Structure 1
C-alpha cells in the first residue's frame, strides 16, 4: 500500500473526475428522496497543494490551477468551484478537496456518506477530516468489499465511486467485478469507475468485461491530454464509466468535455463519450 494520492492531487484526472462527480451529485439531488454516497478508495479527503508531496510533482499546476485561473469557466462547474473557493477563502489556491470532501460539501442534510480507505495512515487522516459531520461513516477495510458490505442501502438510492490506485495489474478486472457485484446487489446503483488511460490492450479487455457487467446502461466518458495511443507519456488521460447515470448527465457532459479538453490539453487534448451498454427499449 505505497500509493498516496497527495502526489497527484488536483491534476487533470482529478479535475475531470471531480467535476463529473459534482454533476452526478447535483442531478441526483433534484429528487427529494435521500441517497447514500459510497467511496471505495477514498483517500484522506483534503490535500495541501503547497505541501511536500504535491509540491514534488507539481501536477496540479497543469490541472486545477488552469481551471482556477480561467475566465471562461462553464456554469456547470459552479458547484465544484464553490467548494474550492470555500476551502481557499483568501483567493489563492492551496487546498484541494478529494472526492470525500467534495461529496460531503455537495450532498444534502438527508443524504448519508460511507467512505472507505484501506491505507492505515490515510484512514486516520480521513476520520479526522470527517469527524464533525454526523452523516459520514468512515470504514478502514478493503475497498473491493464495499459493494457486498454496504449494498443495498436503506436510502433506496446510491451513488458509488470506485477509484483504486491502480498499483496492481488486476485492478481493471477487479473494477469490473465490483461493478457486477454492485449491480447484482442493488440494480439501480449509480456507479462510477475512474480509470487511467495508458495501455490500450488492457483497456480493450476492460471494456469487454464492463459490457458483460449486467448494468441496465453504461456510459463511457474519456478525457485526453495527450494522444490516446502515445507511448511517450505515463498518463494520456483518464476515463469514467458510469452505470445508470441520472437523466441529463449526457447532455451536460457534451457541454463540459470540449472545454475541459481544450483547457487541460498538454500536447493534444481530446474526448469521447459513448454507451458501452445502451438502455433496452422499455427498460
Structure 2
C-alpha cells in the first residue's frame, strides 16, 4: 500500500495520529524535565491542502475539514486545533502541519527535536521549514536506523514516532525491529507506531509480532471509518504505543467515541486495548 504523506495530508488517519501525538506531548510536558522528540519518517513537515498532491485525492475533506467546522470539540483537542488555526490565520483551512511541525509547535524551549527524512528533496524542504529553530536537528539518513543512530539521547525521556509510508511488504516487521531497538537502548522510551488498516492478514501478523516485542507495555488504538475487511481502501488506522504516559488511556476513552462519530464514513468504530499489559514486579517476561 502506498501511503505518501502529501497525498493524504489531513485525512482521517492524520487526524487520529496527530490528535494522539498532541496528547502524548501534552502529557510528557506535565513534568518540567526536558524530553527529546524523534521522527523516523518525517516528510516535509508542512502541507498545502490546495496543492497538487493533496487536492488530487481530496481526502482532507473527510478528515481535518470535518474537525475544522465541528462544534463542542473536546478540550483535549484544543492544542492540536490551535496549531492549525495559527497556520490559517484568515480562517480558511488551507495549510496543515505534518508531525514535525505539530511537534515543533507544541514542545517547549527545553525540549529537542530530531527529524529524519530519507528522500533528498523532502529532506531539503524539511530543513527549510524547520530553519530558525535551534532546538531542531534534521537528519537525512535511513528512517529504520533512527533508533540505533540517535538513542539513547542525553534527555532521560524520549518520544519516538515511527510513521513509514507502508510501500514495502516488510515494513510492519521493520517497525517491530525499530521498536525493539529503541526499547533496548532506552527501556522507558515512549514509541508510537502508526499503521494503516487495510489488509487484515498482514495486520494480524503485525499484532503477533508486536506481542512478542520487548516493549514493557504496549497500548493499541484504532479508528475505523469503513468496515475493516475491505481490502480495496484505507478502512482506518491505528497506533501502538509503548510506555504510554499516565492519563493517556483515560483521555482516549473520552476522545475516541467523539472522533469516531465525527470521522466515520460508511461504517465507524474504534477500539483500544493492551497488546502487552504491564507485568507485575518480578514476573517473568
TM-score for the superposition, normalised by structure 2: 0.97
CA distance in 2, matches of 1:245, 1:133: 27
**1:137-183, Cα deviation, whole Å (9 max, x unpaired):** 00000000000000111001000000000000100010011101110
Alignment of 1:113-192 (within 5 A): 113-192=113-192
Aligned to 1:95: 95
Deviation at 1:195, TM superposition (A): 0.2
Gaps of 5+ in 2: none
Gaps of 5+ in 1: none
CA distance in 2, matches of 1:149, 1:230: 38
Aligned to 1:18: 18
CA distance in 1, matches of 2:3, 2:142: 15
CA distance in 1, matches of 2:280, 2:4: 44
When the two chains are superposed, the root-mean-square deviation of aligned CA atoms in Å is 1.0
Q: Which runs of 4+ in 1 moved over 4 A?
A: none
Deviation at 1:3, TM superposition (A): 6.3
Aligned to 2:267: 268
2:33 is aligned with 1:33: yes
Deviation at 1:4, TM superposition (A): 3.8
CA distance in 1, matches of 2:31, 2:124: 33
**1:72-106, Cα deviation, whole Å (9 max, x unpaired):** 21111000001001000101100000000000000
CA distance in 2, matches of 1:50, 1:72: 27
Aligned to 2:279: 280
CA distance in 2, matches of 1:3, 1:67: 22
**1:2-32, Cα deviation, whole Å (9 max, x unpaired):** 9641111000000000000000000000000
Q: 1:3 to 1:250 in 2, by over 3 A?
A: closer
**1:30-85, Cα deviation, whole Å (9 max, x unpaired):** 00000000000000000000111111110000000000011121111000001001
CA distance in 2, matches of 1:4, 1:200: 21
CA distance in 1, matches of 2:78, 2:127: 27
CA distance in 2, matches of 1:57, 1:132: 32
2:208 is aligned with 1:208: yes
CA distance in 2, matches of 1:28, 1:75: 17
Deviation at 1:230, TM superposition (A): 2.3
